[in-house]
């Protein structure tokens, strides 16, 4: 399956090894409280904020939708005592996540499988928590993602989600004018489609859940892009050895594009959590 058919798994199979250098072990944006933190501290802060909003606790069964290479899932198990099942459409990511759990001595509490958040295959009411960390933008049908997440939650369970969001509508003429930078983002980060946080909230409530936490993290995540650019310079040789020089250059240019979109209020970052009756 090609990128033109929205093959998120194939994209991550190709880039995962390089992105560990570029984006850090957790493979997602960071939340910077002061602005001068290192990337690892900031990415762990985002995971901690999600855990707080999701009310993650000992013994809970957590479904991690879009688990990356497993760092957040392992953190939920080791720090909060949760039992986590992570799914991803990337076989490379699932293998790396499984190796991580084994190396950390968590293989009895964390499991990773190839699976799709829009059709996860688990029985109704299988989980106490559903965790969707920065993966929904690559799922074409947000309604199916939310419906599946709600379906597998037990009564009283919680859904917690964070992602890049669209902060303003882009007129057609603007989209045409920005075709080159938008195409660059697609090449580097996959065939993403950003939606407003209000859409997520509406979809969640349509499934009978009640949104009780919503955070705008746009300003707090902005420094992430400078850290990614710095990592690209620091690990240039390593990234080029995996992806090649042209792809390295595209990544750096894509960070510039994202900064412009953050600064002109086109894109931002949000977190929301909701409870099932």
pLDDT tens-place string over residues 41-59: 999 999 999 999 999 999 9
Is-catalytic flag, 134? yes
pLDDT band at 9 (very low <50, low <70, confident <90, very high): low
Q: Is the pTM of this model over 0.85?
A: yes
Structure tokens at 169: 């509508």
The answer, yes or no, to whether residue 104 has pLDDT greater than 60, is yes
Q: Of the listed 26, 134, 148, 205, which one is catalytic?
A: 134
More confident residue, 248 or 140: 248
Q: What range does the domain containing 118 cover?
A: 3-275
pLDDT tens-place string over residues 114-141: 999 999 999 999 999 999 999 999 998 9
- For position 249, which CATH number holds? 3.40.50.150
> What pLDDT sits at residue 151?
98
pLDDT tens-place string over residues 225-234: 999 999 999 9
The β-bridge partners of 97 are: none
Work out how many domains the chain is built from and give that number. Answer: 1
């Amino acid at each position: 399956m090609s990128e033109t058919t929205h093959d998120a798994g194939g994209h991550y199979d190709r880039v995962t090894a390089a992105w560990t250098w570029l984006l850090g072990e957790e493979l997602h944006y960071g939340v910077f409280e002061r602005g001068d933190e290192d990337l690892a501290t900031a990415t762990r802060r985002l995971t901690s904020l999600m855990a707080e909003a999701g009310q993650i606790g000992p013994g809970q069964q957590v479904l991690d939708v879009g688990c990356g290479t497993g760092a957040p899932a392992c953190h939920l198990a080791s720090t909060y005592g949760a039992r986590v099942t992570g799914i991803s459409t990337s076989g490379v990511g699932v293998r790396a996540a499984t190796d991580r759990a084994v190396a950390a001595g968590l293989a009895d509490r964390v499991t990773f499988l190839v699976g799709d958040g829009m059709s996860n295959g688990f029985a109704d009411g299988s989980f106490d928590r559903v965790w969707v960390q920065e993966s929904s933008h690559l799922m074409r049908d947000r309604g199916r993602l939310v419906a599946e997440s709600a379906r597998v939650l037990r009564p009283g369970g919680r859904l917690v989600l964070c992602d890049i969001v669209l902060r303003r509508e882009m007129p057609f003429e603007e989209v045409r004018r920005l075709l080159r930078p938008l195409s660059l983002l697609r090449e580097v980060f996959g065939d993403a489609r950003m939606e407003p946080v209000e859409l997520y909230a509406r979809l969640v409530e349509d499934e009978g859940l009640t949104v009780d936490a919503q955070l705008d993290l746009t300003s707090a995540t902005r420094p992430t892009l400078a850290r990614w650019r710095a990592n690209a310079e620091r690990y240039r040789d390593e990234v080029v050895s995996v992806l090649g020089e042209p792809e390295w250059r595209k990544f750096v240019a894509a960070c510039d594009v994202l900064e412009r979109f953050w600064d002109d209020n086109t894109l931002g970052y949000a977190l929301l959590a909701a409870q099932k009756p």
